[in-house]
Structure 1
């Protein structure tokens, strides 16, 4: 059903739990992979653990997604190895911090926007010219793209901005049959979310994970594998008439 045989998929944020879960699932359906992350050593280790003997089939590349030259080079290396691109998954992200507007560090705001928004823009800018018709771009957004929570200035602003970028790209690339969508996970059981919840728990004086679970109608966090399944749908021809869509995978948190 989800045939990606011979399709080339480039995933940023490849060493994280969601990037790896998506990579494993796409690879199991025949995709050829290029994984990009800031720390090549960490990426190589994660790739070896995730793919075992098949790790050599995966192209691992180091790049800061906010640096145009590095993104251009990562795309060029991928095209050099595989010939063309079919799927781009912009998954790199950082959270920033939580603080009142008067105290929010400008440099943190800038860095979060650079990774999420500039990173997705640069991946599309340099990746799209090498994409075959009928390809797919998936931006990792968040339930934060539908919310406004006190003090979460950088992360929430960045995720809202990704929705706008996704919609512009969808209109621009539709004539080439390239679909552009975003996945909006709710809280996921992973290290990224745990760090957010530890910080929140310290601020509110209670367990941050329990606090989030109470906000989710399904009463639990999602798993990286559950989110990866939605990414697979958007990456494959099964979503052939779906573009410009923000797919909620949040256990009902945005309802």
Structure 2
């Protein structure tokens, strides 16, 4: 199919995980990709380009820290210079930092999480919107923690809750210009953000050296469907729908991709 044919899409956090998956999935549907990530992620971005080209797409990269508006603005400008337009944005960049109780966080941990997960989204949209016209679309990647709290994630939850308010405000501001704004809220996703020793230890404090299988037992117990986590492509399919004309009258809302995590009654 060609649901994104002739459209230029900028994706942040594109060097790995869900960001790379979004780039590849959109390219499969005809999109031209501007893949943006940190300068230190150049190797990962190169892999993203390879995978996009493997499915027949075109991808250029940009180096930017979403916390720095000037860097984001330059990345957007470079993409527009290269392709002459910008039709869509996927504000995907984010972190899931380890933490303790709210009162145990220090200022640097708090600010880093909010600067990336909230301010970084604002910078991305702020840089991109002036280049977009009617028919443009924005998808912001949130989290199930954007609509519920969980212990030990105060800075993460606060940032993701804040993004919901930002997205709904943007939908109201940009709707009259014909630009749609929506969110996708993933639950646990099988990417390095979840599949790492730090998260395993948090999920299984009863074990000395928990592994992926140990973590999967806990995560699978939290969902309605019999899976521990969803795949990156499952999230990318929701992003694709919201960016495409299939969702031409959908704005100011969210799609949850979590195998029933939020819906499950304990």
TM-score class, shorter: over 0.9
In the alignment of these two chains, the number of paired residues is: 255
Q: Could you give the per-residue CA deviations for residues 165-192 of structure 1, whole angstroms, max 9, x where no partner exists?
A: 0000000000111110000011111111
The aligned counterpart of 1:8 is 8
| 1:13-52 equivalence runs, <5 A | 13-38=13-38, 39-52=40-53
What is the deviation of 1:209? 2.5
The CA distance in 1 between the partners of 2:3 and 2:103, in whole Å, is 50
What is the deviation of 1:20? 1.1
The aligned counterpart of 2:261 is 253
What is the deviation of 1:42? 2.2
The aligned counterpart of 2:202 is 200
What is the deviation of 1:49? 4.1
TM-score, length-scaled by structure 1? 0.94
Counterpart contact for 1:40–1:61, Cα < 8 Å: no
Structure with higher helix content: 1
The CA distance in 2 between the partners of 1:47 and 1:70, in whole Å, is 20
What is the deviation of 1:213? 1.2
The CA distance in 1 between the partners of 2:205 and 2:37, in whole Å, is 30
Q: Could you give the per-residue CA deviations for residues 175-229 of structure 1, whole angstroms, max 9, x where no partner exists?
A: 1111100000111111111135323135354733321110011121100111110
Counterpart contact for 1:84–1:132, Cα < 8 Å: no
The aligned counterpart of 1:226 is 234
Query: Secondary structure at 1:5's aligned position in 2?
Result: coil
Relative to structure 2, which stretch is displaced further, 28-37 or 45-54? 45-54
What is the deviation of 1:57? 2.7
Bigger relative contact order, structure 1 or 2 (CA pairs below 8 A, ≥6 apart): 1
Counterpart contact for 1:15–1:43, Cα < 8 Å: yes
Counterpart contact for 2:23–2:48, Cα < 8 Å: no
The CA distance in 2 between the partners of 1:95 and 1:17, in whole Å, is 13
Is 2:182 the counterpart of 1:172?
Answer: no
The aligned counterpart of 1:217 is 224
Is 2:191 the counterpart of 1:183?
Answer: no
The CA distance in 2 between the partners of 1:151 and 1:163, in whole Å, is 20
Q: Could you give the per-residue CA deviations for residues 73-92 of structure 1, whole angstroms, max 9, x where no partner exists?
A: 00110111111211100000
Provide the alpha-carbon RMSD of the alignment: 1.8
Q: Could you give the per-residue CA deviations for residues 15-70 of structure 1, whole angstroms, max 9, x where no partner exists?
A: 12211111111111111110001134223332244235679931111110010110
TM-score, length-scaled by structure 2? 0.90
Alpha-carbon spacing, 1:81–1:175, altered in 2? closer, same or farther (3 Å): same
The aligned counterpart of 2:244 is 236
Q: Could you give the per-residue CA deviations for residues 128-178 of structure 1, whole angstroms, max 9, x where no partner exists?
A: 010021111000001111211112111111111110000000000001111
The aligned counterpart of 1:82 is 83
The CA distance in 2 between the partners of 1:210 and 1:26, in whole Å, is 32
Q: Could you give the per-residue CA deviations for residues 114-136 of structure 1, whole angstroms, max 9, x where no partner exists?
A: 11111110111111010021111
Alpha-carbon spacing, 1:3–1:156, altered in 2? closer, same or farther (3 Å): same
Flag structure 2 segments of 5+ consecutive residues without an equivalent: none
